[in-house]
Structure 1
Amino acid sequence: MNGEFVVERCAFDQALLCDVLAAGITVCDGLIRSVERRPDQGMTVAFEHASGRRQHIHAALLADCRGHTAPKTIPDRLASPALVSLACSFAGARAQPHSTIIESFEAGWAWGGVDPKGQAHVQVVVLPDFLAEHDRDIDVAHAACMRSLSRLPRRFGRALKPTGPVRARGIQPILRGLIAEADWLRIGDAAYTCDPLSGQGVFEAVSAAIAAVPVINTLVRRPLSTDLALRYFDERAESVFRSRVEVARQHYIAETHWQDEPFWSRMSASDSSQETVTPHSSRSYFSARPVVEGGYIVERPIVISAEYPRGVRFIDGVDLARVDELLRNGVPVVPEVISRYILMPHEKIAGALQWLRAHALIRES
């Protein structure tokens, strides 16, 4: 739980590809040249093979998983401050089992990884202003950050020798303005990107793909529920994005040693545009919302509260709305009686009743 694992990225990608092929999926390797929507053919993707040969594929639905480089169609909905990541690989580190370390310093924070062969990788995250202070020379800027570190050099050793140039890329948590339509949806970083300090990475891409499965099922097989499926996908993306942004901000707040420095004060500041949307009422209430059921998106009553703005449907497998319906129809607030209507052990019914009472959703006579 909340752990981090070092893997060989090339081997990881190859393993994913093997799983895809084993599942019977056709893989076309090439560079995408264009994506168009055609009235009679659905979505059309034109791509170019390594040989230069061009090919077209037609599909009823397109899932765009091209990461943060996926072209955007309208302005972004939400965006946090931009940062810069400077990364460099080294040889000569102290040989040790695969491990990672994170360290804060005055101008930002650093992440390092090392392997048993003494190969190390150090990424530092700073404000764009930090580059300007070093004449935008990324090698000089990264070296300056390395001199500010203490824990990481002690772990990796001080005989690190760069094996290549420093690489720079921009970092900015962004929620795209449009992430889904009836024949097209964004998945993973194509929909939203998070601050790496929130520690999601591959998990976020996988969880987004899993959430997309019932949405795609609904769009393709139950077109009358298209609006409901799109609403579910969109609301989930915004909710998760806001949550990840807040997790990262809390990490910045937790580092009090540098709290008055420009980087830390800016990143820990509250952004009104990112504040979590809470229910209009502080009390808990039932509301019909889109949920996953049987591999599709359907609308069901769930409990909305300040604690759970995305809602709660089940407690230990007991459908809260079903319990509420029975109570409204005069069934006594007795677990053994309710379990005759809901085929669940009365101990679980008792747990659901206790939860409903705690949220003031049961009126005792």
Structure 2
Amino acid sequence: MAASRRRASMTDPILVLGGGPAGGAVALGLAKLGFTVAVVATPRPFRAMEGVSERVVEGLRNVGFRYALEALPAPTPRMASWNGTAATANTERLVDREQLDAGILQDLQAASIRVITGRVSKVEEHNHGFDVYLKGQSEPLTTSFLVEARGRSAPSASLPRKRGPETVSLLQYWQGAPIAPCSAAASFTEGWAWMAAGADGTRYLQLTFDVASKTLPEKSLLVAHCNQILLSLPQAQHFTQDAEPTGELHARTSTPILCEQAVGERWIRVGDAAMAVDPLSGNGIFQSLSSALQAPAVINTLINKPENAALAQQFYQQRVDHLFHRFARIGRDFYALEAQWPTQPFWQQRACWPDTAPLHQIADPSSIEVVMMPVVKGGFIELAEVVTTNDQPLGIWHLNGQPLAPIAKALAQRKSHESSEACFTRVLGMPAKAAAQWALWASQNGWVTE
């Protein structure tokens, strides 16, 4: 950004484009830090149901959502049929996204955050900040700091992006008599299916394909093609029996996308606008919250401690990159479990992308280092001593209030044949009980080999 451009301040309203989990979490976090915030919320263009895990529920609770949590139903069974084996995987909560988004907006309004309903048509950047135009309105909304949280639909803004295998998900509704809510995932030759039944009898049947697949017909024939696949899947029978397709079909990109520049001096991208993962991982809302939880401290630093702007940008981009590759590897390993069609392009590409690096590494005590890295401290991004290892490259700052750098430094001074417990007592003056607890933790996490 040019030096002549005016920086944002605490009194300038921060504008968040997007009222989903990521945008809502950032808005609530900024309000808690004392910022004035406004959120532009765009109604969903079509109905959607999404399966969420219990850690998503915990993430929403940690953000401070209340009404959004009331939109979550009880957990329901989820079946999985993969590599020729069928099993009850676990449970998930089948969330109506319209209800969840409405709850999020209620939470924002309860926090005195202005909610503006509309669809963004254009964003222009000027020396004073940004002008945001909404469809049907001639006067723009102005802001000196912009949060892009419109998910996958956010414009690329000509920013460098990394893309995974090009993927499309085709969602179709079927309607039948009410049945007990449940969901299922099943693999087939050309891709995989996610199926869910709502209590009102609506069935959400989604098929995911490779975009370059030669088996996909022209647009006018897609509905018939999807129906043919669904009716051939034994796992889909429970969802299609005594039900009829409505004829509505919605195509959504499911391509994993990483924005390689997710933050600037006066703007930041959060949630799927920063990194969007393959829906197979089942972590969409969770990963959105992961980046959104860190964004308020980054924004606070950019505005109120501009001398640390580069540090804040480094902190945020490293974590976005790390999350993206972590979730990508989760998807890769799950795709690799499906071995029935190893030569099919869909499975062949996804079983080896993004790389061959293991999802988890066995901790190596020799890799432990104490280094200075950016951390969230007091609502800002600041440098602190953290401990990095081969399996924790971004470092760990503290655990339950205990900084870990002194623990690592003490272990580096451990004498031959000295126990970790004795080392902590000798070097750090820890009481016996605390020394024993940290010795156990160090052993369980691979920091020592007794």
TM-score between both structures, scaled by the size of structure 1 = 0.85
Change (3 A) 1:96 1:61: same
Task: Give yes or no for contact 2:376–2:382 (8 Å, CA) kept in 1.
Answer: yes
SS at match of 1:166: strand
Q: 2:186 aligns with which of 91, 99, 103?
A: 103
Q: 1:249 aligns with which of 328, 332, 339?
A: 332
| Post-superposition offset of 1:321 | 1.1
In structure 2, the residue matched to 1:18 is 106
1:275-317 deviation digits (Å, cap 9, x = unpaired)? 98999x9722222111112222111222222222222233454
Equivalent positions of 1:336-355 (< 5 A) are: 336-337=425-426, 340=429, 345-351=434-440, 354=443
Question: In structure 1, what residue type is equivalent to 2:100?
Answer: F
Rounded Cα–Cα distance in structure 2 between residues aligned with 1:329 and 1:228? 31
Question: In structure 2, what residue type is equivalent to 1:142?
Answer: C
Rounded Cα–Cα distance in structure 2 between residues aligned with 1:97 and 1:142? 24
TM-score between both structures, scaled by the size of structure 2 = 0.70
Question: In structure 1, what residue type is equivalent to 2:300?
Answer: N
Change (3 A) 1:267 1:30: same
Rounded Cα–Cα distance in structure 2 between residues aligned with 1:170 and 1:330? 53
Change (3 A) 1:84 1:353: closer
Question: In structure 2, what residue type is equivalent to 1:265?
Answer: Q
Q: 1:81 aligns with which of 156, 165, 168?
A: 165
Matched, 1:359 2:443: no
Change (3 A) 1:273 1:54: farther
| Post-superposition offset of 1:112 | 0.6
In structure 1, the residue matched to 2:281 is 198
Equivalent positions of 1:293-312 (< 5 A) are: 293-312=377-396
Task: Give yes or no for contact 2:216–2:222 (8 Å, CA) kept in 1.
Answer: no
Q: 1:265 aligns with which of 348, 360, 371?
A: 348
1:37-56 deviation digits (Å, cap 9, x = unpaired)? 322x2x2223236xx33333
Rounded Cα–Cα distance in structure 1 between residues aligned with 2:203 and 2:395? 43
| Post-superposition offset of 1:121 | 0.9
* Structure of greater relative contact order (alpha carbons < 8 Å, 6+ residues apart): 2
In structure 2, the residue matched to 1:231 is 314
Task: Give yes or no for contact 2:145–2:266 (8 Å, CA) kept in 1.
Answer: yes
Matched, 1:122 2:122: no
Change (3 A) 1:282 1:79: farther
Change (3 A) 1:273 1:265: closer
| Post-superposition offset of 1:216 | 1.3
1:56-78 deviation digits (Å, cap 9, x = unpaired)? 33323211112222222335332
In structure 1, the residue matched to 2:134 is 48
| Post-superposition offset of 1:273 | 9.7
SS at match of 2:139: strand
| Post-superposition offset of 1:350 | 3.2
SS at match of 2:117: coil
Rounded Cα–Cα distance in structure 2 between residues aligned with 1:105 and 1:231? 41
Question: In structure 2, what residue type is equivalent to 1:79?
Answer: R
Rounded Cα–Cα distance in structure 1 between residues aligned with 2:174 and 2:201? 8
Change (3 A) 1:87 1:348: same
- In the alignment, structure 1 segments of 5+ residues that lack a partner are none
Matched, 1:165 2:248: yes
Task: Give yes or no for contact 1:175–1:193 (8 Å, CA) kept in 2.
Answer: yes
Question: In structure 1, what residue type is equivalent to 2:386?
Answer: I
Task: Give yes or no for contact 2:169–2:251 (8 Å, CA) kept in 1.
Answer: yes
Change (3 A) 1:282 1:58: farther
In structure 1, the residue matched to 2:16 is none
Q: How many residue pairs get matched?
A: 354
Rounded Cα–Cα distance in structure 2 between residues aligned with 1:217 and 1:170? 33
Task: Give yes or no for contact 1:316–1:352 (8 Å, CA) kept in 2.
Answer: no
